[in-house]
Amino acid sequence: MRKNIIITGASSGLGEGMAKAFAKRGRNLGLCARRLDRLEVLKADLLQINPDIIVHTQALDVNNHDAVFRVFNQFRKDFGVVDRVFVNAGIGKGGAIGAGHFKENKETFLTNAVSALAQCEAAVEIFRAQNHGHLVTISSVGAVRGFPGLMNVYAASKAALSSLSEGLQIELLHTPIQVSTIHPGFIRTPMNEEAKSLPFAVNIETGCNAIVNAIEKEIKNAYVPFWPWALLHYLLRIAPLNILRKLS
Ligand SMILES: NC(=O)c1ccc[n+]([C@@H]2O[C@H](COP(=O)([O-])OP(=O)(O)OC[C@H]3O[C@@H](n4cnc5c(N)ncnc54)[C@H](OP(=O)(O)O)[C@@H]3O)[C@@H](O)[C@H]2O)c1
């Protein structure tokens, strides 16, 4: 059983939802995000859900890459062994390229791709030393194709993360280190609360249950919730550009 779990971006949305789902399953949690106050409230909730677990919290801006290594190693000291790490922290800021959004687009690419690399590096370093562990990257169904407008850089950043994850899956095949890439469809969280249209969107609990079930099976690539995304991602891969434009 993967007992000691680190989750980045645990102060909100899917990170918070997964922490609650794992607390119910009796797992110890190392939670980090920039908003430590929210993590402390969550910690109290988790210990109410399950008083038998251990919860550690750390303030972390994943764009401070030295801090990513420091915080993950602190969790390892706290727990002794780290069994699973979620690369979950992410943002969806930005807009059409060439339309004055470079600052936000750069922040999105930095957080979702470069800082995800820092998290993968720090996690896999610990797993190699332990010869044991499960890396889970939270990508997106959006990773499967390019998308225009405000989805452009977000989708590109998630494509980078999925590719990184797949490379690690190949490299670590037949070792005691497992790598799973999760591609969620739309799940209603603070990230997308202003979106006008979210086709097939589900609430956080439904979305997190689908994610946690896939992770516990240690599936290499999961598109969740299964309906409709396990099918739709195939269609998205072959859709002509004019169809993708209409969908966006
Ligand atoms: N919701 C969806 O439909 C959906 C679909 C596909 C993929 N995803 C992915 O799921 C992940 C979680 O998103 P969400 O929907 O749960 O959004 P959310 O509610 O906005 O949560 C994002 C989390 O990331 C953290 N975060 C953002 N920037 C950070 C930074 N620089 N350093 C540390 N933590 C940072 C935030 O914490 P602080 O602000 O406290 O730092 C927050 O806990 C993201 O990677 C997102 O791309 C979401």
88 Cβ inside 6 Å of ligand 1: yes
Q: Please report the atom of ligand 1 found closest to the CA of residue 35.
A: 40
Check residue 20 and give its pLDDT.
98
90 Cβ inside 6 Å of ligand 1: yes
Give the mean pLDDT of 196-211: 94
Rounded CA gap, 25 and 5, in Å?
12
190 Cβ inside 6 Å of ligand 1: yes
Model confidence over 108-126: pLDDT tens digits?
A: 999 999 999 999 999 999 9
Q: Cα of 112 to ligand 1 centre, how many Å?
A: 9
Q: Cα of 15 to ligand 1 centre, how many Å?
A: 7
Q: Are 54 and 65 in contact (CB under 8 A)?
A: no
Q: Are 108 and 156 in contact (CB under 8 A)?
A: no
144 Cβ inside 6 Å of ligand 1: no
Q: Cα of 52 to ligand 1 centre, how many Å?
A: 27
The DSSP-derived string for 77-138 is: HHHSS--EEEE--------STTSS-HHHHHHHHIIIIIHHHHHHHHHHHHHHHHT-EEEEEE
Q: How confident is the model at residue 37 (pLDDT cuts 50, 70, 90)?
A: very high
Rounded CA gap, 54 and 2, in Å?
14
Q: How confident is the model at residue 197 (pLDDT cuts 50, 70, 90)?
A: confident
89 Cβ inside 6 Å of ligand 1: yes
The helix, strand and coil proportions of the chain, stated in percent and rounded to the nearest 5, come to 55, 15, 30
**Closest of 164, 183, 8 to residue 85, by C-alpha:** 8
Check residue 109 and give its pLDDT.
98
Radius of gyration of the CA atoms of the chain, in A: 17
Q: Looking at the annotation, which residues are catalytic?
A: 154
Q: Cα of 174 to ligand 1 centre, how many Å?
A: 31
Helix axes of 102-109 and 152-171: crossing angle, nearest 10 degrees: 20
17 Cβ inside 6 Å of ligand 1: no
Closest C-alpha to ligand 1, atom 47: 90
Q: Please report the atom of ligand 1 found closest to the CA of residue 192.
A: 1
pLDDT at 85 over 90: yes
Q: Cα of 88 to ligand 1 centre, how many Å?
A: 6
Domains along the chain with CATH numbers: 4-247 (3.40.50.720)
